Structure 1
C-alpha cells in the first residue's frame, strides 16, 4: 500500500450544526422546531461534539490522521446582530489548540450552511447587506483567533444555492409532466434534503412566522433556491471576507469549497455535460482566481445522453443518500478542476453513506488510489478530508444517513470507531 508524504493533509471533516448540538440561535434550529417541519427529526444534542471535541480529535489523531476540517458556528458567535460572545470565541480557540496539541492541522470553515436566525429575518442570502455582515464577522473573528490558524474556508459549497434553484426548477417541470421523480432528482444535489415533504405549505407559513417574515417565499436561508443575483451575492461575500481576513492576517491561506459532480457524457450527451460543468464550476472561476486554494467536494457522478441527465442503471450500486456509489468520481473531478484552476487543491469532502463499513473501507481505498494517481501526475493536491468523522445529523434526513468513520450511540454519546477510521489512517506516513 502506498502512503502519502508527510506534507500531505490527510483527515476528516465535520460541520458545526451537524455534530455540536443545541445550536439554538441558527436558522436550521428554527426550521427543525416548527410543527410541520420538512426535517425528519430535529438535531437536538446532535452527537455532543461541542463538549466531546477533545475525545473526537484524539480518536482522529490516534488513527494517524493529521488534519481536521470543522466549522465555526456564526450563530453561536453572534446570536443577535449586535452581540459578540467571547466565551464562544474562546471555545473555538480551545478546539483549534486541541488540534495542535494532538499534531493535527485545523482547517476552519467560516460558514457551513447554517446562519444566525436574525440574518434570515433581515433578508438572508438575497439581501445585498449579507456581504458586509459576513465580511465583518469573518474579519473580527480572525483578528481574535487568526494567529492560531493557517487554512480557512470562507463558505462551504458556495454553489449549493444555484444547484438547488436548478433542482427545484427541474422538479416543477417533472410535476407539470406528471412525473415527480423526487428521489432521482434530489440525489443530484449533494446534501440531505427532502424535496416533497408532506404539508409543505403549512411548514412554509410556520417558518415565515418563526422568522418574522410576512411572505413565506421570502425565506432566504443559505440552503434554499436563489436568484442569479443571490448566487453572485455569495461570491461577493466570499471575496469580501477573504480580502478582509487577508488584510487582518496576511499569513492565512484562504479559499472556499464547491459541490461538484463527475460529469460523464454518453453518446450525444456532450453538450449537456459541458453546460452543467459551466454552471457548476466554470461559472465561479472569476471569483476564486485570487484564492490560495480551492476545496473540491464530490460524492458521485452524473451521466448525460442527448436528452440530458440519465439516471444510473437499476443494477448500479447506490448509497443511502440515493447517489450512485462511484468512488472514482473524486479523482476525475480533481483532474477536471485542475485544467482550469491553477492554484492548490484540497479535497475538503468525499465519502459514502452506508451501513456497511466494509464497503466504506473499500470506497476509501478506491478513492485514495485515484487521489494518489492525481498527485503522481503533478496535480497540486495538498490534502484529502473524508466526510465525515462522526455519524451525524444529515440535515433534513436526520440521523439515518451514516457517513461516519466513528459511530455514536446517541443515548449515551459513546463513540465506536469503525474499521474505516483505521483504513483511512493507514495511508498516513508513520
Structure 2
C-alpha cells in the first residue's frame, strides 16, 4: 500500500530473497534523502569497540565487572579487546572517510578520562583529542555521547544511578570533557538510551550492573535524567558553538486485537518505552500511566528537578530497531505476543520500518516543543560471513533502504529530521550477546582484527558519492 515504507523500496519475504537488492541503494528521485544537508553517518560506542580496558590509566567500568560474571554474557565474551579501536583508530578513521560517511557518532569512556577523585587522565583525554581532531581534518561531523553505559565501577560501588550523587559526578565529567574537547565536537549527547541503563540495568538485570527491581529502575531513570539536565548548561557554557541533546531508544507497541484491553496494553507499552523518557524531557513531568503499570514505584523527586531535566534541547537523538506486538496480561500491564510469518533479524527482532515513521509523526503531534531529530541508531544484526573477500549482507541492504524510506515519509509529514546514523560502523561487542550478533556495515574478524567492507557499506558509499556529484 502507498503509505507502507516497505513498499517504497523492494519488499523481502521473511526468507529474504537475493537478487537486484544487492545492486542498488539509490532512493527514489523525490526522496528528501537527496538533500545535501541531510547528514548520513555511522555510530559506535566506546566499550563496544575500544578494548584496551587496562591501558593508560583506564579504570574498570560496570561492564568490565558484569561481563566477567559467568553466565551474564553469551560465550563469556567481554569488551577487553573488542575491535581494538584504541590502537587501530587511525585506520578506522581512514575507513570511515573512504566510505564517504559524513558524520560519526562515538562515545567517550568515562573510566578512561578521569580517576576516582575526578583528576583528569591525560593519556585518555589525548586519545579522544587525536581521534576528534583527525575526524575534523577529514571533514566528518562529530557527534559525541558522554555516557553509553560504561559507568565507572567506583561510582557503582557507591550506589551507581541509584545514588543521586552520581548525577552531580556526571556534571563534573561533562564539565571536564567540554572544556578539553571544545571546538572538536559538533554535537554533544549527554546520555545514550537511558531506558536501557535504567530498566535493563536496574529493572530486569539483563545489563550491567545486573539489578532487578522496578523501584530501582524508576529511581535510576530519575537520576539519569537529572544528570542530563545538570550537564546541559555546563556544555552550553564550555562549548557554545556545539549542539546539545540526548539520545532515546523508542519502541513501537501494537495491540494483538481490537479489544479495549489489548489497546490499553499497547498504550502502556509505549508509555514505558517512550513517554517515560520523553515526557520528563519535553513536558517536565512523568507520565502517571507509568505508575499504573508499576504501582508504588514513584521516584524521589526534589524541588526543581523537573525544571532541570526539561531544559530546552538543540536536538533529540532517536534510536529505533523493531516493534513489539502486545496483549493485556490480564492485570495492569502487557505481554509480548510474537507474530508468525514476519521478517526477523539475527536478534529475533521483527523488521517493521513503519513503526519508525508512525512514532516520529506521533511525537510531532504529542510534543509541540519537539526539537530537531537525528536518527542516531538504526540497523540490524545478521550472521554475516566473508566469502572470497566479500560480505553480501542482502537483508541489511533492504532493511536500511526501507527504514530510510520511513524517515523520508516522516519528513514529508512535517517532522524535522536532519540526519541518520547507521548502527553500526563495524561489528562489535553486542553487550549481553557478546560477539555473535553482527550489526556492522563493516565485518570484523575478531581473531585477526581484519576489517572487510560489506556490500551494504559499498552501496551507501555509492549513494553518497552520487549525491555529492548532484549537489
- After TM superposition, is the score higher than 0.5? yes
Whether the 8 Å contact between 1:153 and 1:255 is mirrored in structure 2 is yes
C-alpha spacing 1:383/1:31, structure 2 compared with 1 (3 Å): same
Matches within 5 A, 1:243-254: 243-254=233-244
Matches within 5 A, 1:132-281: 132-164=168-200, 168=204, 193=206, 226-265=216-255, 266-268=257-259, 269-281=262-274
Equivalent residue in structure 1 for 2:374, among 338, 346, 349: 346
Matches within 5 A, 1:71-82: 71-82=107-118
Residue 63 (structure 2) pairs with residue 28 (structure 1) = yes
Residue 38 (structure 2) pairs with residue 8 (structure 1) = yes
Residue aligning to 2:322: 300
Whether the 8 Å contact between 1:131 and 1:240 is mirrored in structure 2 is yes
C-alpha spacing 1:226/1:425, structure 2 compared with 1 (3 Å): farther
Distance 1:47 1:155 in 2: 22
Query: Cα distance, 1:167 vs. partner?
Result: 6.6
Q: Secondary structure at the match of 2:182?
A: helix
Residue 375 (structure 2) pairs with residue 355 (structure 1) = no
Give TM-score scaled by structure 2 length.
Answer: 0.76
Query: Cα distance, 1:354 vs. partner?
Result: 0.8
Residue 439 (structure 2) pairs with residue 409 (structure 1) = no
Query: Cα distance, 1:242 vs. partner?
Result: 1.1
Structure 1 residue runs of 5 or longer lacking an equivalent are 170-192, 195-206, 208-218
Query: Cα distance, 1:333 vs. partner?
Result: 2.4
Distance 2:70 2:199 in 1: 27
Distance 1:244 1:221 in 2: 31
C-alpha spacing 1:321/1:411, structure 2 compared with 1 (3 Å): same
C-alpha spacing 1:220/1:419, structure 2 compared with 1 (3 Å): closer
Q: Deviations over 1:274-332 (max 9, x none)?
A: 22222322233233551111111111001233443342223222222121122333223
Q: Deviations over 1:220-279 (max 9, x none)?
A: 789998342222111101100112111222222111111111222341222122222223
Q: Secondary structure at the match of 1:271?
A: helix
Residue 335 (structure 2) pairs with residue 309 (structure 1) = yes
Residue aligning to 1:111: 147
Query: Cα distance, 1:124 vs. partner?
Result: 0.7
Structure 2 residue runs of 5 or longer lacking an equivalent are 1-26, 55-59, 283-309, 385-392
RMSD, matched Cα: 2.5
Whether the 8 Å contact between 2:162 and 2:216 is mirrored in structure 1 is yes
Q: Secondary structure at the match of 2:347?
A: coil
Q: Secondary structure at the match of 2:358?
A: helix
Q: Secondary structure at the match of 1:320?
A: coil
Whether the 8 Å contact between 2:188 and 2:244 is mirrored in structure 1 is yes
Q: Secondary structure at the match of 2:374?
A: strand
Distance 2:86 2:354 in 1: 34
Residue aligning to 1:198: none
Q: Secondary structure at the match of 2:204?
A: helix
Matches within 5 A, 1:315-326: 315-326=341-352
Residue 96 (structure 2) pairs with residue 66 (structure 1) = no
Q: After superposing the two structures, state which structure 1 stretch, 131-140 or 263-272, moved more.
A: 263-272
Q: After superposing the two structures, state which structure 1 stretch, 106-115 or 20-29, moved more.
A: 20-29
Distance 1:92 1:105 in 2: 15
Q: Secondary structure at the match of 2:194?
A: coil
Whether the 8 Å contact between 1:163 and 1:280 is mirrored in structure 2 is no
